[in-house]
Amino acid sequence: MTPHNQAKKGDYAEAVLLPGDPLRAKWIADTFLDDVRQVNSVRNCFGFTGTYRGKRVSVQATGMGQPSLSIYVHELINVYGVSTLIRVGTCGGMTRKVKVRDLIIAQAATTDTSIVRDAFPGFGFAPIGDFGLLTSAASKAAAAKMRHHVGNMLSSDIFYRPNGFADYEKLAQHGVLGVEMECAALYLLAARFGVKALTVCTMTDCLVTHEEINADERQSSLTDMATLALDVATDA
């Protein structure tokens, strides 16, 4: 056990889904998993383990932002022996070609966080997802006819930018598809400790067109995201 996690060794499966929101973790566990049991409730960052189509899988909330995610991911890898981690969450869109309800599968993560910058003085380390998980997710999404895009994600530590989308325009011009707050730290830690990681996000609001997803559409799109991530996790 750790200060952030009451689970015992063996309580987590080798593959874990990582939503930021604790209630989304509970929703995934209640909706998609069989034989579910809660393994963590410290700080209400819920963790659950169950089975999906007969295979053992876990879900652990990470909280919001890269510092919080880094704590849970570090401990899942080094204390609990997790080897496959898939972030599932929402993101903002940075290009007109990504429509609301589309999935973004993050091949790489551009970032402004000091968590990555300070780890490599003098270098601009490029955190990337696991190629096997990436190709699996892309092929499964295509087979299921899910609208999806594979490319660069921005992981920012700042939600309210002083200049709004103007701060992101150059990144968008260089192919960055969406913005969220966790992916780069996940990919950094996966590289550091030699495990597999991927991020799959649902685009819920476009920073270019200002289109937003409503509550009913959000739930349907999150179902696509969760089932895709679970299919990938249990095949890993």
Annotated catalytic residues are 205
The runs of H, that is alpha helices, within the chain are 22-32, 66-78, 114-117, 131-143, 169-173, 183-193, 215-235
- CA-CA distance, 145 to 139, in Å (whole number)? 10
Region of 203 (left: φ > 0; alpha: ψ -120 to 50; beta: rest) is beta
The two structure tokens encoding residue 187: 């990919």
From the list 31, 61, 35, the residue with the least C-alpha distance to 47 is 61
Tokens 């495990």 map to which residue?
195
Q: Provide the residue count of the chain.
A: 236
Residues 68-98: b if buried by 16+ CB within 10 A, e if exposed:
bbbbbbbbbbeebebbbbbbbbbbbbbbeeb
